[in-house]
Amino acid sequence: MTNQTAPQNVEAEESVLGAMLLSSRAVEEVAGFLPPEAFYRERYAIIYRVMLELFEHGTPIDPLTVSDALDEKSQLETVGGKEKIAELAAIVPSASNVSHYARIVQDNATLRALLRAGQEITRLGVDRPGPIDELLDSAELALSRVSSLITTGDTLPITDALEEFTNDLRAAYLADEPITGLKVGYPDLDAILLGYWPGQLILLAARPGQGKSALALNIAENIVDNGGAVLFVSLEMSMPELRLRSLARAAEIDSKLLITGQMTEEQARKLPHGLKVLASRANLHVNDTGALSLSQLNAEATRLRRTAAVNLIVVDYLQLMNPPKAENRNIEIGMISRNLKQLARRLNIPILALCQMSRAIEARNDKRPLLSDLRDSGSLEQDADVVTFIHDETAYDLDKQPTGTIEIIIAKNRRGETGKCKLTFNRRWSSLKHLPKHPGG
């Protein structure tokens, strides 16, 4: 990128510095969103960085203090000497327009970063220095560097949108109903979590075979049946397998009988109803790509959020995602969980991510899961807003007969309470249902 083609506005850069030399309030206005790297002229970036250091230490900012600080760093002559500092102080008559000047500087810096990212992406496409998935991750990283330059400065007072918040509270009081997020369709679980909330990362963890995928699919179906839209990313099961499970639950027919055709007449009469229910779930969008990368998930989720208004993403399951290469597995899983959390925040919808638990639980006498049982990374517990476990005591003891119920343990909940509830689990139909409480119990 040459000097002639690089987007820049030297007058705006000088005006920002001049305003800051005139008023400490000008420093306060721009320090929160304008990084030193946004300046095109290196000497202006040096001056700005020194001003920020003085501001952080509570030192008044004026031509004398800035000149002295630069001199101590042996940078005064590099930026043009005391004469240049004095010249900058005389450029603007008032500091009142400093935010406008700073936005011009930031906009030009963003354009330069876009050009650099474009050149890097073009190089990746031409040279092809690796597999396609790695190239996509590198391209996304190049674009993310552009986003990192854009600090919106969206720090707001706590009273922002207070009237809307108050109206929500009043409505909840009058209706005698709580304010809830996206209801998952199980009353006891919704009562504890108050639904899934926009921006949340929810983990659903269990050992293999305890019903993670079945519960996640049931939740997705419940939401779709109630007018929502879901992106179900299946990294383990194929579309036909998911479709079969969904039909088995809707028709209440053993999935094996559906495959073999060995249904009774009564079961066969249920099939049209099940197919009708299945046909009504067009808003359940399934991606069964076997090794989805983070960049592919980001792209697909963004598209469906825009075109299909999805309000939940399910990832089944997290450890099967294809991460960027890292030093070890823990770091890779941490990268995945942070990316999912950032995606949930960016799209303003909850993400339900399934994950495996460590085998350490099988060596304990008490098989009830703990947060430390999350497999591969401590980042999972840190990044998640909600951590939910499935617990089936009979799964660890071959002498015990399955009870037909499983326990759902909410071990972490940033929005409120932890707790537990039980669901009935019909494995033949892949169906989980609310377990009504007995009177007085």
Q: Radius of gyration (Cα) for the chain, nearest Å?
A: 28
Task: Summarize the chain as % helix, strand, coil (round to 5).
Answer: 50, 15, 35
Angstrom distance (rounded) from CA 119 to CA 401? 63
Residue count (the chain):
441
Exposure string (b/e) for 79-103, b if CB count within 10 Å is 16 or more? bbebebbeebbeebeebeebbebbb
Q: Which of 307, 299, 133, 312 is nearest to 219 (CA)?
A: 312
Exposure string (b/e) for 158-181, b if CB count within 10 Å is 16 or more? eeeeeeeeeeeeeeeeeeeeeeeb
CB atoms within 10 A of CB 217: 25
Q: Which of 416, 415, 419, 417 is nearest to 407 (CA)?
A: 419
Instruction: Clarify whether 14 is annotated catalytic.
Output: no
- Marked catalytic residue, from 87, 120, 134, 236: 236
Bond from prior residue into 196 cis (ω within 30 degrees of 0): no
* Those residues with Cβ within 8 angstroms of residue 278's Cβ, 6 or more apart along the chain or in another chain: 243, 246, 247, 250
Instruction: Name residue 316's beta-bridge partners.
Output: 234
Q: Which of 36, 38, 41, 43 is nearest to 78 (CA)?
A: 43
Work out the burial of residue 327: count CB atoms within 10 Å of its CB; fewer than 13 is exposed, 13-18 middle, 19 or more buried. exposed
Exposure string (b/e) for 360-396, b if CB count within 10 Å is 16 or more? ebeeeeebebeeebbbbbebbbebbbbbbbbbbeebe
Q: Which residue has the tokens 């230490």?
A: 57
- DSSP H stretches of helix in 183-238: 187-193, 212-225
Enumerate the active-site residues. 236
